[in-house]
Amino acid sequence: MNPLFITLEGIEGSGKSTNIKVINNYLNDKNINYINTREPGGSEVGDQLRNILLNTEKKLSNQTELLLMLADRVNHIETLIQPNLEKGITVISDRFMDSSYAYQGGGREMGLDNITKIIEGLNIIQPNLTLLFDLPVEMALERARKRSELDRFESEDYNFHQKIRETYLFLAKENSERIKIIDAAKDIKEVESQVVKELEKTYELTLA
């Protein structure tokens, strides 16, 4: 069985981290080797960039923020994602390229076409499956506030997060074969069931 590159996306507080465990359990049951990672971060360099990007005391221009994200992503692909896929290991990433489209393209209003132009020439690989955890902004931010101290992105206002959500839903509509929407407003068991269902579909297609 070929390894898969699976990504999780969604606004802050959407439950991505919680559902990585659901994916892990599914893969364990299937005896599939995998590794978990995240963006920003996922490597020594990436973790340093993560500290800059999430620090509420750092004042970054929109373009600087995007370029730091892309630097992290290229390093992430080169040092962790691609090497593991080549070894036959499935990679699960908490956020990937869709986050830049949603956060910088939508939230920061840099525009999706502009993001696409900037990444031309970069070796950005395509995930096999992206799970988009979607729920109303009010519910998501309430969860985020209860979880821990807010980072630089979580601290942004409602309109910022609403633009991100709308961009994610647009991306899902335009890339419906890859991006599968998970209704994250449902209770935990129902969300888990949706995740497993999409994993089953993807692996059935892989084996077909």
Domain layout of the chain by residue ranges: 5-207
Mean pLDDT over 41-62 rounds to 83
Q: Which run of H or of E encompasses 134?
A: strand 129-134
How long, in residues, is the chain? 208
Residue 55's pLDDT band (boundaries 50, 70, 90)?
confident
Work out whether strand 179-183 and strand 34-38 pair parallel, antiparallel, or are unpaired.
Answer: unpaired
Neighbours of 159 (CB within 10 A): 10
Give pLDDT, residue 50.
84
Please give the CATH superfamily to which domain 5-207 belongs.
P-loop containing nucleotide triphosphate hydrolases (3.40.50.300)
To the nearest 10 degrees (0 to 180), the angle between helices 62-76 and 112-119 is: 50
Region 120-133 average pLDDT: 95
Q: For residues 185 and 154, which has the higher predicted lDDT (pLDDT)?
A: 185
* Mean per-residue pLDDT, 135-161: 83
Q: What is the mean pLDDT of residues 85-111?
A: 97
The pLDDT value recorded for residue 62 is 92
pLDDT band, very low/low/confident/very high, at 32 (cuts 50, 70, 90) = very high
pLDDT tens across 135-146, in order?
Answer: 999 998 888 777
